[in-house]
Structure 1
Amino acid sequence: MKYLQIVNYKNLKSVRFNFSQGANTIIGENDSGKSNAVTAIRLLLDDSYYYNSKKLKDSDFSYDLGEWRGHWIIISAVFMDITTKDKQTEVCAEIVPDQENESFLKSYINSGNEDIGVVTLFIRPQKATRKKLYEAESKAEFDELIKAIKLSDYEFYYTSRSQTDFTDPTAYKSIVGDFELGSYCNPDDDDATVLGSKLNITDIQDHVSVMFIDALRDVANEMRKPRNPIRRIVEAIEARIDPVDIEKIKNNISELNLSISEVKQIGQIGVEINSKLMDMIGMVYSPEIALESQLNDEINALSRYLSIKPSNQNDIELLGLGHLNMIYMALKLVEYKFNRTRELINIMIIEEPEAHIHTHIQKTLFDNLKLTKDYTQVIMTTHSAHLSEVSEISKINLVKTRGNVSYVMQPIQNLDHFGESRLFLKNLRLSECIERYLDAKRSVLLFSKGVLLVEGDGEEILIPNMVKKGLGITLDELGIGLINVGSTVFEYIACLFDNDRIQRHCSIITDRDNQAVRDTSTFYSENAEKKGESRQKKLDGLFADNPWVSTFYATNTFEVEFSKFKDNSQFIRDIIETHYSQPAAIKRHIEALEGPDEDRANTVLTLADSIGKGWYATLLSSKINATVQIPDYILSAIAFACHEIVTTDIKLKMVMYSLSEYTESDVIIDMLSIARKAETVEEKEQAISTFCGTYPKDIVSLFIQKTDVVFLWY
């Protein structure tokens, strides 16, 4: 299965998942829609997952629809790489389009590959209901008919060969109707070239193997069931067992039955039963019976008595949940290997394989699951950062939620095209480069709600603590991930954030490197200034039209920008007094720190160079407190990365934290405390707006610098 379209199913309003051979991952936070995607696959292809209109619930429809009545749920799978030989089989011939739609192949599939097959499920009102809606003569009549629709009025309608992008709102309206206008499509005009040809889904499911491993499972209880994985494996290999071995087992069982039957006490039970029968019904009608052992000697019957246990323990239940889960998955993989007899596709779905499994074992498990690519397709859901680190970027579907609706993003989408057309890479695939680079940092990109890209150790060390001490909140609380790219080559990472790929805000924090010291200084570099100008021109050109990426520049360097604030001088002064031992040197540097801009910049750069920028940032991080002044370009970068994140409560928390540092602000704190207890978001927002617009600038100036992130929203 290459693509999966889902329309109007739970929180998946209109999405497309991309899959490849081998192990695929669906990554996202809790309740983002990962399990809904898995259920959609099972609804369409899994013959063991019985679900029809009798089980349909109104909660199955998209939460964003409001009124679900009359709407359709659409689940459509596109299979690729169907060979000419495959097309000769009846099952493949039934799903392969008679004539390929070139527009669909090139724009939707993004490929000229014509070897496709399509299976689609429409959960829609029955024809009679749709006909009534079509014949409605007014919007009022249409609305009344909509209100009268019941779940029992729906049907499950399967088709094949459809070549339609159902995630396109225009396409959806063309087959369903426009609810705002009160119009519905005529069911008599259903177009098979759009919807596909009617299909008996059992004909397809007989040739599809879907195995589902739930995240929540009682492994010990599963192993006691008659149809446990061990028995299924034995049944699959029964035909391969040497007949000589089977005959030997049967002879041994026959001898065992005879031995049991000849036990004196066993025979006596038979005598007692015969005696009791004669007492009850007399000698004429009483049958003579014998109590004998008759253990079944058939291999498939014996398999139910096979069990596994630890070599050093007598009971499998003595193992922990982690080991039980790993054993169970190993058994299911072996079972699947021997039972994958269906020729169209073999799909193994695993929900949260990280459940109860140690971090290092998670990674090993994932690597080993990749080996199944030769005989099956694995689709896993996860919110494990460890599994995301070993997932191939090209096989990741990232699920993001906004309100009641989830969106699916593929980090790899059109990435190589960007590398060729915008970065002018030759004989090099950008996707492969990023795959290798992000091995250790991928979880930050995939799980953060916003991202800060910084160029060095100083920013990586100091910025998180400046935010914590200066704003009273951590980057983790804001959902912001910070990545040190280790250079100024930001574009190779920032390009992941785009309408085509990851739709999350990414801030680039870098230096313009305008020289803050005289050309006689050791730190003066005309070349650095030229590189800074070139870097700004390049980044602005690459991302000017990208709503998800913005660059924020320090005029000079990070160390110099930090030193420009008077309140920050004390932290630097503490380091000077600690680092230098000669009183004259200490005095000279402190005077320079408090002197003209060039002298201050020269002293700071000398200090950072002497200590090492990383260690200098570490020392500063240990010195700063709530009075720390955060450079404006960094605050703006944080605000951009927080674009979809910061709530009113977070804003209030930052404001109150800053105010708490000043005794003059007691009245304001009392006012904001009342606002914080407000029951509605509107009341809280009004309180903040009133505060910003009412109080004199001299009062607000006491803390406004450290709460710029808050005020950037007003």
Structure 2
Amino acid sequence: MYLKYLQIVNYKNLKNARFNFSQGANTIIGENDSGKSNAVTALRLLLDDSYYYNSKRMKESDFAYDLGEWRGHWIIISVVFVDISSVDKQTEVCSEIVPEDENQIFLNSYINSGTGDIGTVTLFIRPLKSVRKKLYEAQTKEEFEDLLKEVKLSDYEFYYTSRSQTDFTDPTVYKTIVGDFETGTYSNPDDDDTAILGSKLNITDVQNHITVMFVDALRDVANEMRKPRNPIRRIVEAIEAQIDPTDIERIKDNINQLNLSISEVKEIGQIGTQINSKLMDMIGMVYSPEIALESQLNDEINALSRYLSIKPSNQNDMELLGLGHLNMIYMALKLVEFKFNRTRELINIMIIEEPEAHIHTHIQKTLFDNLKLTKDYTQVIMTTHSAHLSEASEISKINLIKTKGVVSHVMQPIEKLDDFGENKLRLKNLKLSECIERYLDAKRSVLLFSKGVLLVEGDGEEILIPTLVKKGLGVSLDELGIGLINVGGTAFEYIASLFDNVRIQRYCSIITDRDIQAVAEDSSHYSENAQKKGETRKTKLDGLFSTNPWVSTFYATNTFEIEFAKYTNNKYFVKDIIQSLYTQETTINRHKEALKTGGKDCANSVLTLANSIGKGWYATLLANTVDESVEIPEYIQDAIAYACQEVVTIDIKLKMVRYSLTFYPDSNLAAQDILSDITCIQNLKDKENVIEKYCNTFPKDQPAIFIQKIDEVFLW
């Protein structure tokens, strides 16, 4: 059996979250403060017997941050185990968590349980029944709200159940079991439905058979190894029955001989004599017992394990090792412990917080790959914001956390991905998830950690677009939270399919060419076939993603190189390249004249230039040439605005305004006026006024155009 789902409702920034896990090594990926630690803490609240927590330790901040008034609300933490075998069910605890009648609708739509049964365990942190009864009996909304004000943290209970088959992340389910706070109605506690909430459970029974071990990023390993129940002792206990009896007898004889030798030391014997003498002085000879000071080292194998320790072969003290090595040693010990104890526990869950802490880049990947091998006896859940671990993670075992405001959403890139591949992309003999898994090995970190994504055709766009943004707008793609992925062709549909309501909820812009031919038919650059492919590509992409709220496609009428050269300012940069590449004046003048003429002559000249040196090198030369006067093609601005619509703050807009104004001469009174306004900003309204004034004053300036597009994108 293994942990398949973790549901969290109303806990900190996880208001309605569902995590999906598989056997082996799983990752929870997210930026700082996204809720990774909150997720593993919730799991420990439910299953980790070493993590003691009850209503006396609760804080108001434990409730979902956007609830406003926390009083009366419930925190729900629920886990679903799957593949519970007939052997597992022989234990009493398994039979207690497996539903008697499995809900097939629940199984088909929510759980894919594989070959075995499912089992569920749930924690409800909720008001006591007496408090809930009063809230239910409130006659009016005003009375209900007055009663809520009286609710205290001490009025809450920790109530554990099993066998529930409910999707608690469904808001309608929450209203059914708790109530509707907007209307001031609360559910009747006398009507608690065990079919929904589950049957009451003694959580200790479960925790005795499920081991949850938490490895903190900064764990004090040396101190952990001194504890009585350290991993070495538990390993020795597990293998004690396998030790040869003759070895045990030999060790006992040696210990008894050692005890005798210690006791026979003259100075130790004198201590016993002095104790006897002092006792007789105190209570007399009649009542004084005869005392002997002897060595009594325990000769039991499990007792001897406390004297076993590990150390580097070239050092005498383990504490001389760095934190990274100590943490890896501890994880190795725990995995060995789990291996030897797997007949005792139903499941071992190792939670590792940020394993990248203090660990070298290459070791991170090796560690992750090797942790995958533990799936037969240990399930691993790691939280990380390491790009290296993300690249090593399997897409099918990733939970991605996205934060918006004070609420975090959990996304699974694998969700219904193969269905999309089969039904939309018509893949018959291939699984889309497997194709993407292999393709994204080197580019996954960009996709997983960016707040928005640009997909581009080739090297030219990949090289030049970041420079266009930095030089034209005064901010980088990184500042905008945008990741750029070079698809290396036009097969955008595979990567774009990851962005969807049921998978990754982040905006993805596809930037591609329609390849409508802009040169004369007798030109060597003319390709009727390319134009047909461009139109076919547009039809396909529009058909696949026109109704997808997270994906939009932005088309160049011709090609990227031609679109760039259509703008007057940009032609100066192309002329610089012509001047540096060609030596013959006639050739230079011919290309410059073509740029000036525009139309088909300009297009033919640009393509000749780009193809002669390679589009990637052409883009590199442009990137080294362009300055703040560069004009970003409109379709690219539209694509960037779409991709970063969730993350462009007013301060980023203000940075673009400052950047633009610094290039205006001192004689430009409008620019100096707005710069003066910036220095006087005191609040958010002042910032908004400055930005509005700038956009109205310089409507054709690149940052002004982009800011307006950002504001418009919310209306799309």
Same fold per TM (> 0.5)?
Answer: yes
Match of 2:616 in 1: 614
Match of 2:522 in 1: 520
Which is worse superposed, 607-616 or 236-245? 236-245
Q: Which amino acid aligns with 1:689?
A: E
Kindly indicate whether residue 702 of structure 2 is the aligned counterpart of residue 705 of structure 1: yes
Match of 2:136 in 1: 134
SS in 1 for 2:239: helix
Q: Which runs of 5+ in 2 are unaligned?
A: 712-716
Write out per-residue CA displacement over residues 663-695 of structure 1, whole angstroms, 9 at most, x where no aligned residue.
Answer: 1546435535534763443432233224334x3
SS in 1 for 2:413: coil
CA distance in 2, matches of 1:81, 1:220: 37
Kindly indicate whether residue 650 of structure 2 is the aligned counterpart of residue 653 of structure 1: no
Matches within 5 A, 1:74-113: 74-87=76-89, 89-109=91-111
Deviation at 1:582, TM superposition (A): 2.3
Kindly indicate whether residue 465 of structure 2 is the aligned counterpart of residue 468 of structure 1: no
Match of 1:625 in 2: 627
Kindly indicate whether residue 553 of structure 2 is the aligned counterpart of residue 551 of structure 1: yes
CA distance in 1, matches of 2:572, 2:335: 63
- Report if aligned partners of 2:391, 2:444 keep a CA contact under 8 Å in 1: yes
Which is worse superposed, 636-645 or 190-199? 190-199
- Report if aligned partners of 1:629, 1:706 keep a CA contact under 8 Å in 2: no
Q: Which amino acid aligns with 1:330?
A: A
Which is worse superposed, 591-600 or 532-541? 591-600
- Report if aligned partners of 1:362, 1:387 keep a CA contact under 8 Å in 2: yes
Matches within 5 A, 1:318-397: 318-397=320-399
Q: 1:162 aligns with which of 160, 164, 187?
A: 164
CA distance in 1, matches of 2:679, 2:18: 41
Matches within 5 A, 1:129-278: 129-270=131-272
Match of 1:671 in 2: 674
Q: Which amino acid aligns with 1:681?
A: L
SS in 2 for 1:594: helix
SS in 2 for 1:476: coil
Match of 1:642 in 2: 644
SS in 1 for 2:159: strand
When residues 221 and 82 of structure 1 are mapped into structure 2, their CA distance, relative to the original with a 3 A threshold, is: closer
- Report if aligned partners of 1:209, 1:340 keep a CA contact under 8 Å in 2: no
Which is worse superposed, 377-386 or 297-306? 297-306
- Report if aligned partners of 2:20, 2:412 keep a CA contact under 8 Å in 1: yes
CA distance in 2, matches of 1:276, 1:143: 73
- Report if aligned partners of 2:46, 2:122 keep a CA contact under 8 Å in 1: yes
Deviation at 1:86, TM superposition (A): 4.0
Which is worse superposed, 377-386 or 579-588? 579-588
SS in 2 for 1:64: helix
CA distance in 1, matches of 2:604, 2:129: 80
- Report if aligned partners of 2:511, 2:639 keep a CA contact under 8 Å in 1: yes
Q: Which amino acid aligns with 2:368?
A: F
When residues 388 and 662 of structure 1 are mapped into structure 2, their CA distance, relative to the original with a 3 A threshold, is: same
Which is worse superposed, 663-672 or 440-449? 663-672
Q: Which amino acid aligns with 1:712?
A: K
- Report if aligned partners of 2:657, 2:691 keep a CA contact under 8 Å in 1: no
Deviation at 1:274, TM superposition (A): 5.6
CA distance in 1, matches of 2:137, 2:280: 80
Kindly indicate whether residue 692 of structure 2 is the aligned counterpart of residue 689 of structure 1: yes
Query: What is the root-mean-square deviation in Å for CA atoms of aligned residues?
Result: 2.1
CA distance in 1, matches of 2:160, 2:289: 59
Deviation at 1:374, TM superposition (A): 0.8
SS in 1 for 2:125: strand
Match of 2:510 in 1: 508
Kindly indicate whether residue 303 of structure 2 is the aligned counterpart of residue 306 of structure 1: no
Deviation at 1:594, TM superposition (A): 2.2
Kindly indicate whether residue 610 of structure 2 is the aligned counterpart of residue 599 of structure 1: no
When residues 220 and 573 of structure 1 are mapped into structure 2, their CA distance, relative to the original with a 3 A threshold, is: same
Match of 1:55 in 2: 57
CA distance in 2, matches of 1:393, 1:676: 48
When normalised by structure 1's length, the TM-score is 0.95
Match of 1:489 in 2: 491
Which is worse superposed, 129-138 or 252-261? 252-261
Q: 2:582 aligns with which of 573, 580, 583?
A: 580
When residues 263 and 204 of structure 1 are mapped into structure 2, their CA distance, relative to the original with a 3 A threshold, is: closer
Which is worse superposed, 282-291 or 74-83? 282-291
Deviation at 1:414, TM superposition (A): 0.7
Query: What is the count of residue pairs matched by the alignment?
Result: 708
Q: Which runs of 5+ in 1 are unaligned?
A: none
When normalised by structure 2's length, the TM-score is 0.95
- Report if aligned partners of 2:8, 2:16 keep a CA contact under 8 Å in 1: yes
SS in 2 for 1:475: coil
Q: Which amino acid aligns with 2:499?
A: F
CA distance in 2, matches of 1:50, 1:439: 40
Deviation at 1:314, TM superposition (A): 1.7
SS in 1 for 2:453: strand
| Identity within the alignment, % | 76
Q: Which amino acid aligns with 1:409?
A: M
Deviation at 1:469, TM superposition (A): 1.5
Deviation at 1:242, TM superposition (A): 1.5
Which is worse superposed, 432-441 or 195-204? 195-204
Deviation at 1:631, TM superposition (A): 0.8
- Report if aligned partners of 2:695, 2:705 keep a CA contact under 8 Å in 1: no
Write out per-residue CA displacement over residues 163-184 of structure 1, whole angstroms, 9 at most, x where no aligned residue.
Answer: 2211111111111111111111
Q: Which amino acid aligns with 1:678?
A: I
- Report if aligned partners of 1:494, 1:549 keep a CA contact under 8 Å in 2: yes
Deviation at 1:98, TM superposition (A): 2.3
CA distance in 1, matches of 2:682, 2:342: 57
Match of 2:714 in 1: none
SS in 1 for 2:690: helix
- Report if aligned partners of 2:695, 2:704 keep a CA contact under 8 Å in 1: no
Write out per-residue CA displacement over residues 463-492 of structure 1, whole angstroms, 9 at most, x where no aligned residue.
Answer: 111111111111111111000000000000
Q: Which amino acid aligns with 1:708?
A: I
- Report if aligned partners of 2:14, 2:409 keep a CA contact under 8 Å in 1: yes
CA distance in 2, matches of 1:109, 1:326: 34
